[in-house]
Chains A and B, each alone.
Chain A
């Protein structure tokens, strides 16, 4: 027998949990700019504050089920910051970090989980897809968007995120397959937070990495430390540049740990091994970047307190707007079904209006 093909998966990490640059590779240019790192630090904190607020709203009956992204902020913020404004984001349900990074307003996130369709009517991120709840279906939408860009010769790209559990779905494989064949400008981000509700990775796959799933589609892939925003952004910047310039798709597996329950409706103490959280909190993404900034004497307790206060105010403003949102009129159920509502449904619309008034 002879070997006809050989593969390997590279792992990328620049900054360790103590906030030290440890890679033999030179850090990317943006990592030498402290202002950029401070902004990324702020953006990650914004998502954590948003998640905390949303949780509090849910616990007090003012919000529906909500999936926090605690511990995964570096992933969404990292790849979201690699996106240009005219790139298109096709998010997964725990995607608030990348969504906000790409222009979705905080209150739109709250509106969506608070039960308002208008939370998907983005004011700024006009071409971005709303969250896809059916797992992995979004991967295919991303390939379709990228195909349209390719046919029109546009130098734009598409980012789509998926959980590691989602990579078990057929739609994910179908998307990788066609993206490879058609050389589509899609960056597939696998958010490997090690849990699919209660199912750990060892039940999800027999692969050593999720990144290697790309090999079967002939796509370049890399595994990165998803708690290291420098690594996430560096890999995403490179993949985006490649995608925009006809270089085709990339799969980036970002390893993190879900430091929260699956959603507000979940209780992870039923299945999470003891000690995992303690260990996870030592590696989480925000604290290590803060340590680095502090080591550069560009961050301290005072700047932290000021930032936290500002973020609280920013999120509170979105919460206020959310809480003051008027419910849609009952006819809204009908008014966006088709461009023109079928005649036979008009009577039901009238009925809903009449009943709504009572």
Chain B
């Protein structure tokens, strides 16, 4: 057992599954000898051969379309879109076909496939490399959208995504690819999809987040604790389908909710969570539902990136407003 980063955990999970299941194949741009631009597939081609770790031509719709064809034949493709900003040529394939094949064929053709993509901002990347557009896919019935927040979760959720009988969009928060290490045993134990994780128990407010923002959220909870505010922290992990029960249970206990997301505020995953809380747990609320998010703007080039990103102090400030709300 060794301490590994989130991206190494992604790699370990894929390698584990390739080792035990011949149907698992990896492909995408630069995933072969280069091991992916972030090294998510580092060493896989060496280990499993060019037949199963395939460098594709530079065409995202093709990557998704090929995955659909292979999955319909019973293979388990793990396809990489190099950055989520480049996923849109593949959106037609993902939304119009990938999400619908089981339904439209009444279960005759199913697509056990994973499309993984690094996403989110904060690494001073060029334009179109920093968006958080998870809500677009979370809105589509027939897809599952999974976002790990740390190395252990990346390992367990990636295993589950590959094993899942339905298509999974697996979004990797690249800002935290290497921010922390976890001791992970490569034992093949997966985490369930469609389940939130309660990362910290608390009594005054529920903080709900996912992906990279979970790190700011946890730091905010620490800070709040020193100020005498006890925050419960939930890692949503699967943004679709949402495990809303765990969130509601927590909010009904604490009486307050604050959602923290990197994405723009409007029409986002946080909006859906807020609406569910308002619909089902309104009478438990002691304060309005709070949201700390990116602005409803195009994410700026990196000179202004810092000013776009939600920060620990923003969360703390919003939580204090909610706790003090009368």
Q: Interface on A for B, CB 8 Å cutoff?
A: 88, 90, 117-118, 120-122, 126-127, 129-130, 132-134, 137, 139-149, 151, 170-171, 174-175, 177-178, 181, 336-339, 342-345
Q: Does B56 contact A (CB under 8 A)?
A: yes
A-B contact pairs, 13 of them (CB 8 A): A120-B106, A120-B108, A121-B105, A130-B105, A134-B97, A148-B69, A151-B52, A170-B89, A178-B57, A337-B103, A337-B141, A342-B241, A345-B241
Query: Is B166 touching A338 in the complex (CB atoms < 8 A)?
Result: yes
Are A141 and B103 in contact, with the CB atoms below 8 A?
A: no
On whether A134 and B96 interact (CB within 8 A), knowing A122-B108, A170-B61, A174-B57, the answer reads yes
Q: What is the CA–CA distance of A151 and B24 in the complex, to the nearest angstrom? A: 12
Picked from A129, A145, A337, the residue with its CB within 8 Å of the CB of B102 is A337
- In the complex, chain B residues whose CB is within 8 Å of the CB of A345: 241
In the complex, are the beta carbons of B102 and A141 less than 8 A apart?
no
B65 in contact with A144 (CB, 8 Å): yes
Extra A-B contacts (10), CB below 8 Å, given A88-B73, A144-B68, A171-B93: A117-B103, A121-B106, A140-B65, A141-B68, A142-B69, A174-B61, A181-B57, A336-B107, A337-B141, A342-B194
> In whole angstroms, how far apart are the Cα atoms of A211 and B93 in the complex?
25
**Bound form: Cα–Cα A175–B64 in Å:** 11
Chain B 74-92 interface residues, beta-carbon cutoff 8 Å to A: 74-75, 89, 92
Is B57 in contact with A144, judged by CB distance below 8 angstroms?
Answer: no
List CB contacts (< 8 Å) of B138-182 with chain A. 141-142, 144, 165-166
- Say whether A140 contacts B66, CB under 8 Å: yes
CB-CB under 8 A from A122, the residues of chain B are: 108
Q: Complex Cα distance A337/B165, Å?
A: 11
Docked pose: A143 CA to B62 CA in angstroms:
9
Pair B62/A175 contact, Cβ less than 8 Å: yes
Q: Which chain A positions have C-beta within 8 A of B73?
A: 88, 127, 144-145, 148-149
Judge whether B205 is part of the interface by a CB distance below 8 angstroms: no
Is B51 among interface residues, defined by CB-CB distance under 8 A?
yes
Measured in the bound complex, the distance between the Cα atoms of B115 and A160 in whole Å is 24
- Min Cβ gap B149→A in Å is 20
- Asked if B70 is an interface residue, CB under 8 A from chain A, the answer is yes
Question: How far is the CB of B90 from the nearest CB of chain A, in Å?
Answer: 10
Bitwise interface map of B from 114 to 135 toward A, beta carbon under 8 Å scored 1, else 0: 0000000000000000000000
Instruction: Decide: A146 and B62 in contact? CB cutoff 8 A.
Output: no
Closest to B276 in A: A344
Contact mask for chain B residues 39-62; partner A; CB cutoff 8 A; 1 contact, 0 none: 000000000000110001101011
The distance in angstroms between the C-alpha atoms of A213 and B67, with both chains bound, is 24
B217 at the binding interface (Cβ < 8 Å): no
Determine whether B207 belongs to the interface, using a CB cutoff of 8 Å to chain A. Answer: no
Q: Evaluate contact between B65 and A337: CB separation under 8 angstroms.
A: no
Question: Whole-angstrom distance from the CB of B225 to the nearest CB of chain A?
Answer: 31
B110 at the interface (CB under 8 A from A): yes
Residues of A contacting B74 in the complex (Cβ-Cβ under 8 angstroms): 148
With a cutoff of 8 Å between Cβ atoms, the chain A residues found around residue B259 in the complex are none
Q: Residue B103 contacts which of A90, A134, A145, A336 (CB distance < 8 angstroms)?
A: A336
| Nearest opposing residue in chain A for B164, CB measure | A339
Interface centre among A132, A343, A345 (most CB of B within 10 A): A343
CB distance from A86 to the nearest CB of B (A): 12
Residue from the list A121, A137, A141 in contact with B92, Cβ < 8 A: A137
* Chain B residue nearest in CB terms to A134: B96
